[in-house]
């Protein structure tokens, strides 16, 4: 048993050491820097389950009315009916509502209807790996990678020097963009030259250290073995119990 574990540790160390010494992927130029821009996108596209608020003083029936975009992409008003909102900017939806409203009311002015987003709920990025708070996080358009990682709180097993920021690609002809970020250096020196703004759909992966990876590998192998031996011991004690009772004085 000990020799098996030792061999696993040696093999794991060789594999993980080889991976850590391999050439790094550095697509940082594909990401926007916090000092270069204010937000990551010029337009926000509405999606379920975003919630919008209508501002139209000349039409009291819809003024200040809040609507959550349904799973089918529509919002519905009692006097106007249903309007498709998913995939549109607030300005585009406001124009569609204006076309509906002018069929019933006389409107004047360049922008008689204004759409404001009261709750942003459709844009997310993801923090995975060795963090206390993994999972999807709300993307506001102004989330530096440092803030995203700090909020997720890396564990003591985290390899803070090799955190990966990944921008997935839905196009098979375009590779995902990946670069590594030294979170420890950013914390200890204040060097944020490699900090970037996180966009919708981005993935931040916090890997375990080499020793943590080896420990997890050993645990995955030894846990079933220990469980098997434990079961065998229970069965043996159960079978030996009646026999030992009969052989007593």
Q: What is the mean pLDDT of residues 204-210?
A: 94
Non-local (6+) Cβ contacts of 159 within 8 A are 130, 206, 207, 208, 209, 210, 212
Using the predicted structure, report yes or no on whether residue 154 has a pLDDT greater than 80: yes
Please state, in angstroms and rounded to a whole number, the distance separating the CA atoms of residues 149 and 147. 6
Q: Which domain holds residue 166?
A: 2-41+123-210
Residue 227 lies in a domain: no
Q: How does residue 229 score in pLDDT terms, banded at 50, 70 and 90?
A: low
Is residue 11 domain-shared with residue 73, that is, in the same domain?
A: no
Residue 247 lies in a domain: no
pLDDT tens string 65-88: 899 999 999 999 887 889 999 999
* Cα first-last separation, the chain: 39
Residue 222 lies in a domain: no
Question: What is the value of pTM for the model shown?
Answer: 0.71
Is residue 142 domain-shared with residue 27, that is, in the same domain?
A: yes
Is residue 94 domain-shared with residue 162, that is, in the same domain?
A: no
Whether the bond between 49 and the residue before it is cis, its omega within 30 degrees of 0, is: yes
Residue 20 lies in a domain: yes
| Per-residue confidence (pLDDT) for residue 127, from 0 to 100 | 98
Structure tokens given for 228 = 């098997």
229 vs 201, residue with greater confidence: 201
| Per-residue confidence (pLDDT) for residue 205, from 0 to 100 | 97
Residue 68 lies in a domain: yes
Is residue 56 domain-shared with residue 23, that is, in the same domain?
A: no
Is residue 102 domain-shared with residue 75, that is, in the same domain?
A: yes
pLDDT tens string 92-140: 999 998 888 887 776 666 667 888 888 888 889 999 999 999 999 998 8
Is residue 35 domain-shared with residue 128, that is, in the same domain?
A: yes
pLDDT tens string 14-62: 555 555 554 567 888 888 888 888 777 778 889 999 999 999 888 888 8
pLDDT tens string 5-17: 555 555 555 555 5
Q: Could you tell me the CATH number of the domain that includes residue 57?
A: 3.30.1950.10
208 vs 9, residue with greater confidence: 208
Q: Could you tell me the CATH number of the domain that includes residue 185?
A: 3.10.560.10
Q: What is the mean pLDDT of residues 204-212?
A: 93
Is residue 18 domain-shared with residue 129, that is, in the same domain?
A: yes
Number of domains in the chain: 2
SS (H, E, C) 70-101: CCCCEEEECCCEEEECCCCCHHHHHHHHHHHH
Q: Which of 66-70, 167-171, 217-221, 243-247 has the lowest mean pLDDT?
A: 243-247
Under a CB-based contact definition with an 8 Å cutoff, are residues 100 and 85 in contact?
Answer: no
């Amino acid at each position: 048993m000990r020799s098996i574990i030792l061999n696993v540790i040696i093999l794991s160390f060789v594999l993980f050491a080889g991976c850590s010494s391999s050439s790094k992927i550095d697509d940082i130029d594909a990401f926007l820097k916090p000092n270069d821009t204010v937000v990551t996108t010029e337009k926000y596209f509405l999606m379920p389950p975003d919630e919008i608020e209508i501002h139209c003083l000349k039409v009291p029936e819809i003024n200040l009315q809040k609507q959550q975009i349904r799973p089918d992409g529509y919002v519905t008003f009692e006097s106007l009916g249903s309007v498709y909102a998913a995939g549109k900017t607030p300005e585009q939806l406001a124009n569609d509502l204006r076309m509906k409203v002018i069929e019933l009311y006389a409107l004047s002015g360049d922008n008689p209807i204004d759409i404001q987003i009261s709750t942003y709920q459709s844009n997310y990025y993801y923090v995975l790996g060795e963090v206390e708070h993994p999972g999807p996080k709300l993307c506001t358009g102004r989330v530096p990678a440092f803030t995203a990682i700090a909020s997720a709180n890396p564990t003591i097993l985290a390899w803070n020097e090799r955190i990966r920021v990944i921008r997935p690609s839905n196009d098979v002809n375009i590779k995902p963009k990946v670069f590594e970020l030294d979170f420890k250096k950013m914390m200890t020196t204040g060097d944020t030259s490699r900090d970037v703004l996180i966009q919708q759909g981005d993935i931040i992966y916090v890997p375990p250290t080499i020793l943590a990876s080896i420990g997890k590998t050993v645990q995955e192998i030894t846990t079933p073995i220990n469980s098997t031996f434990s079961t065998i011991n229970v069965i043996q004690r159960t079978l030996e119990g009646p026999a030992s009772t009969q052989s007593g004085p």
